[in-house]
A and B are shown apart, each in its own frame.
Chain A
Amino acid sequence: DGGITQSPKYLFRKEGQNVTLSCEQNLNHDAMYWYRQDPGQGLRLIYYSQIVNDFQKGDIAEGYSVSREKKESFPLTVTSAQKNPTAFYLCASSIQRGQPQHFGDGTRLSIL
């Protein structure tokens, strides 16, 4: 079955540490996205990528970095510059921009 796989499901970060969240899709989608969800708020866009080797900042990109070296993969690194990283992170993909997005099951990041 095609879908999006996010790993790990739960992740703990120490202060000052960078961590990378994995997102892989086998839907052959061109566009991929990273969102952050905080309690009582909608999903906020961190980064998106429309094609391989290209990505754009979303509304809250500070403290995050991404890469898109392969069509199937769009990892998100939460750097030590992100002062409030505790959140639920969702990866999504779509055939192309403007189309309904398919989501992974998310990664919950917590600070130790």
Chain B
Amino acid sequence: DQQVKQNSPSLSVQEGRISILNCDYTNSMFDYFLWYKKYPAEGPTFLISISSIKDKNEDGRFTVFLNKSAKHLSLHIVPSQPGDSAVYFCAASPDNNNDMRFGAGTRLTVKP
């Protein structure tokens, strides 16, 4: 039962353009959402998070948008750089619980 879904296994964008990675969830109890970035042969690293009381959180080139009614969040990277090429995981959890659920990941390739 995948409660967090990343329906695009891969995404390719040109350097300098916007990358938009999408994530959908089914559990209405989720109220804390995170994005992780993973390079080959390394563990995921935390990128950015958002709680359900917000609909947007921005950190430099990275912005996460949350649409609670649609149970959808997205990560925008502007402008995209070749070093952003990695697998991006979406994760969600109820605020008071360890039970974090991860999506299957989207592989982003940024072409020079």
- Residues of chain A whose beta carbon lies under 8 Å from any beta carbon of chain B: 4, 6, 31, 33, 35, 40-45, 48, 50, 56, 90, 92, 97-98, 100-106
**A44 partner residues in chain B, CB cutoff 8 A:** 102
Contact of A31 among B36, B98, B101 (CB under 8 A): B98
**B32 partner residues in chain A, CB cutoff 8 A:** 98
Q: Given that A98-B32, A100-B49, A105-B42 are known contacts, is A45 also in contact with B100, CB under 8 Å in the complex?
A: yes
Interface pair A97/B44, CB less than 8 Å apart: no
**B2 partner residues in chain A, CB cutoff 8 A:** 41-42
**B42 partner residues in chain A, CB cutoff 8 A:** 105-106
Taking chain A's interface residues, is the majority helix, strand, or loop, or is none over half, making it mixed?
Answer: strand
Taking chain B's interface residues, is the majority helix, strand, or loop, or is none over half, making it mixed?
Answer: loop
Interface pair B98/A102, CB less than 8 Å apart: no
Q: Which residue of B lies closest to A31 (CB)?
A: B98
- Residues of chain B whose beta carbon lies under 8 Å from any beta carbon of chain A: 2, 4, 6, 9, 32, 34, 36, 41-46, 49, 89, 93, 95-105
**A6 partner residues in chain B, CB cutoff 8 A:** 43
Bound CA span A42–B97, Å: 18
Interface centre among A4, A42, A45 (most CB of B within 10 A): A42
Min CB gap B49→A, angstroms: 6
Bound CA span A42–B47, Å: 17
Contact of B46 among A41, A48, A90, A102 (CB under 8 A): A102
Interface pair A103/B104, CB less than 8 Å apart: no
Contact of A98 among B45, B89, B93 (CB under 8 A): B93
